[in-house]
Amino acid sequence: MTNSVRSRTGTDTAGERSRPGPPHRTPTPSGRTGGPGGHRSRTWSSAGAFAVFVLPTLTLFTAMVLAPILWTLYTGMTDERATRPETSFVALDNYGFLLGDEEFRHSMWNTVVITVIVVLLTNLLGLAIALLLRRQGRLYSLLRGVFFTPVILSAVVVSVIGRSILADDGLLNSTLVSMGVASPPGWLTDPSYAIYSVSGIMVWQMLGFAVVVYLAGLAGIPAELEEAASLDGAGPWQQFRAITWPMLASALTINTVMLMISTFKVYDQIAVLTNGGPGTNGTATVAFEVIRTAFSEQRPGLASAMAGIMLVVVAAASVTTLKLLQRREVDL
């Protein structure tokens, strides 16, 4: 009886012991058994994901960004002109000419001056206004919208409004004359004021962006920190210096880098407000010189060399600034 039960269960009969079992396969980390078929399946799955998600973006980036940059750098090493079909490869001659050209160096200096003014003033005023508008209420919401309005307008529209205010017979000078000022300054026609007037118009347009970024940074500061500082007897200035300012490091980084890139390639405001003047290149920037050289003088080769130099300068300045500012960021 016992032997028959054992035979039916098949646990220790000789026939069952001699029967070979199924081959053992080592489970993979994902729970599937390994083998050539599973490996091929995972390979095709990875290739399909790359083709669907990465390849279109990479193709678009190459066609819209990388290829134009490489073509611009190549064109900058030629003497291409729109008025003649022959084009010769001149290597780095255009770059050497620009580094020794007084007009180009002056336009580079104007670009640096405008960039420094816009970055410093926009950050300073944006932070001050954000601290005032961080409260809740309809009035503060309305004021936030008012400050952000110039950001959504085009640079041409903002420049036309600025020119109507700062022109020799504009709103500002008319007000000064009515107040008894006999000879008001030429805000856009006097070389002593023009570059600062242009910078002021740009600060006005970009101020709303800086305010929004700083407001977002202020909203991310834990209220417990400020409450604890108040309980410890810290005043407003001490709280700003020890809590608010360190916590706004990431907002400062975003504003500084974005403002720097936007100001370095400024063209619209210069063209509308001063057209590069007053005088000879009084407010001309590198971007303005690139457009004028390419289309007015019809020298795309030299203009591409200018754009290549501007690309290197902007990239180096942005990366350096980003690295320096990221060192003081606080990880929340």
Average pLDDT over residues 236-252: 91
**Rounded percentage of the chain residues whose pLDDT exceeds 70:** 85
Q: What per-residue confidence (pLDDT) applies to 39?
A: 56
pLDDT tens figures, 79-128: 988 888 888 899 999 999 999 999 999 999 999 999 999 999 999 999 99
Domain locations in the chain as residue ranges: 101-326
Residues 198-216 pLDDT 10s: 999 999 999 999 999 999 9
Cα–Cα distance between 297 and 77 in angstroms, integer?
17
pLDDT at 309 over 90: yes
Q: How far apart are CA 187 and CA 163, in angstroms?
A: 9
User: What's the confidence (pLDDT) of residue 52?
Assistant: 74
274-306 pLDDT tens trace: 999 887 788 999 999 999 999 999 999 999 999
Confidence at 64, pLDDT banded by 50, 70, 90 = very high
- pLDDT, position 150: 92
Indicate whether 332 pLDDT > 50: no
Specify whether the backbone of 25 is left (phi greater than 0), alpha (psi in -120 to 50) or beta.
beta
For residue 193, which of 169, 168, 230 has the smallest C-alpha distance?
A: 168
- Does the reported pTM lie above 0.85? no
What fold, for 101-326?
MetI-like fold (1.10.3720)
Please tell me the predicted confidence (pLDDT) of residue 8.
45
Inter-residue contact 267 to 250 (CB < 8 Å): no
DSSP assignment letter at 27:
B
Sign of the CA dihedral 14, 19, 22, 23?
Answer: positive
Section 219-239 average pLDDT: 88
CA–CA distances in Å: residue 101 to residues 96, 306, 313 = 9, 11, 17
Q: What is the pLDDT of residue 330?
A: 53
The tens digit of pLDDT for each residue in 114-140 reads 999 999 999 999 999 999 998 888 888
Question: What's the CA gap between 91 and 301, in Å, rounded?
Answer: 11
What are the start-end ranges of the H helices in the chain?
A: 2-9, 14-18, 36-49, 55-61, 67-75, 93-99, 102-132, 138-152, 155-166, 171-178, 191-219, 223-231, 236-239, 245-247, 249-264, 268-273, 286-291, 300-326
Name, in order, each residue with C-beta under 8 angstroms of 208's C-beta and a sequence gap of 6 or more. Answer: 147, 148, 149, 150, 151
Whether 2 has a pLDDT exceeding 50, the answer reads no
Please report how the helices 67-75 and 300-326 are oriented relative to each other, as an axis angle in degrees rounded to 10.
Answer: 130
